[in-house]
Structure 1
Amino acid sequence: MQYFTSDTHFFHDQLVGVNDFSNRNFIDAADMDEVIVQNWNEKVKPNDTVYHLGDIAMLHTKPSKLADERIFEILSRLNGHLILIKGNHDSRELFKYLDRHNFLIDGQPKFEFHDVGVLIKMNHRQYYLTHYPMMLGIVKQIINVHGHLHRYTVPIKENINVGPDSGDLDYLKTAVPFGAPLSSTELEEIVTQKGIDFAKRR
């Protein structure tokens, strides 16, 4: 199965709490990280594919190699093959470190890397997966799946924010546990319901 998420911000103590960016009601980042790992692994199987659309972690430990090691350790605990799209808080140095320490799961690499985005086809639509929201204009059957905005959403029905803080998650009938990636079915539900909502606004 395919899953989608963004903006996990592992280790990011400053993001914990209720603020303009998030509603992360945890004791600290360590508490948040463990909840994300648990909720992720209860949903995602080892052979599933997860598209992570950037801002994996925020950790400024020096030397940076120590930060890369800790991020590698927590990503290694997550089920699935991780397709990582670079966010504004993700360094190329981190991606190089992950690539050097990449390992195989059933013959496939744990990590795959993309600087800008990935285009996939699913259920007769094209999904352009990016970190930053893209303003594509009026295009039929193309959906921009993104992160970056945290609690904010783009007021365009073709833009879907899949971060754990996203207001677009409100379109789901059943709430997603914090940090659990969205399934392709849940993503389709958001696309459909957001489209219905925006049609009513005309």
Structure 2
Amino acid sequence: MSFTQKFYTADTHFGHQLMLADVATARPFPHVQAMDEALIDNWNAVVRPNDLVYHLGDFAFGLADAARVRHIFERLNGRKRLILGNHDFIKQGVVHPAIAGLGWDAAPSPLVETNDEGERVVLCHYALRTWPGVRKGAWHFYGHNHGALPGVGRSRDVGVDCPDTGFAPCTFKQLTAAMRHDPIVVAEDPEFAP
């Protein structure tokens, strides 16, 4: 099945009360149900049924209630791929059954590479200092930091908490518009001489 458009997001944390209370990343919702509904509404306002959404980890919290997690997942438009985040595991190396059992477009993975708008994009829940193709202009999208870790060169946080994402998935063009002319920055590493 083909898709119409690609989108990227991270750190939705559906059902996670702490997202409303943490001082550094507090979300502007009166309660967790309002947060969940706003995230679902914002997602469905931009993503169509045939679009593909890369979710860069930490999809939901409170995974013991698998029915609630599934209900949220099924309400979200589009085909969905999960790049695994720290809250997507039941224990180290074992994806939580409530996450693994969802209808992902492909098996959840810790790192995915894709192409968008003719550009190579490396996707990981965690920010990488260097990534495949960095010297050749590849982009790197990450989550985990809830907008608190600025990107370097062609890397950036794509989480819903970032000021420019509007609590919704965004396209490659939206995410890179302000970065198109930034220099390619490579971490200093004597092993990687130009």
What is the TM-score normalised by the length of structure 1?
0.77
Contact 1:124 1:141 in 2 (8 A): no
Mapped to 1, the partners of 2:160 and 2:151 lie a distance apart of: 18
Structure 1 residues 180-199: aligned runs within 5 Å = 180-192=168-180, 195=182
Structure 1 residues 110-189: aligned runs within 5 Å = 111-136=105-130, 139-166=135-162, 169=164, 176-178=165-167, 180-189=168-177
Contact 1:7 1:148 in 2 (8 A): yes
1:96 is aligned to 100
What SS is found at the alignment partner of 2:115?
Answer: strand
What SS is found at the alignment partner of 2:101?
Answer: helix
Residues 113, 190 of structure 1: alpha-carbon distance in 2 compared, 3 angstrom cutoff: farther
What SS is found at the alignment partner of 2:123?
Answer: strand
What SS is found at the alignment partner of 1:31?
Answer: helix
Which amino acid in the other structure matches residue 25 of structure 1? P
Mapped to 2, the partners of 1:122 and 1:56 lie a distance apart of: 22
Residues 2, 97 of structure 1: alpha-carbon distance in 2 compared, 3 angstrom cutoff: same
What SS is found at the alignment partner of 1:126?
Answer: strand
Mapped to 1, the partners of 2:100 and 2:74 lie a distance apart of: 15
Mapped to 2, the partners of 1:126 and 1:189 lie a distance apart of: 15
RMSD: 2.1
Please point out which of 57, 60, 65 is paired with 1:57. 60
Mapped to 1, the partners of 2:8 and 2:49 lie a distance apart of: 15
When structure 1 is superposed on structure 2, of 113-122 and 137-146 the one drifting more is 137-146
Mapped to 1, the partners of 2:151 and 2:9 lie a distance apart of: 19
Which amino acid in the other structure matches residue 98 of structure 2? L
2:68 is aligned to 70
* Structure with greater helix share of residues: 1
Unaligned stretches of 5+ in structure 1? 103-109, 170-175
* Structure with greater strand share of residues: 1
Contact 1:56 1:90 in 2 (8 A): yes
Which amino acid in the other structure matches residue 82 of structure 2? L
Instruction: Measure how far apart 1:17 and its partner are.
Output: 4.1
Q: Provide the aligned length of Structure 1 versus Structure 2.
A: 172
What is the TM-score normalised by the length of structure 2?
0.80
Which amino acid in the other structure matches residue 28 of structure 1? H
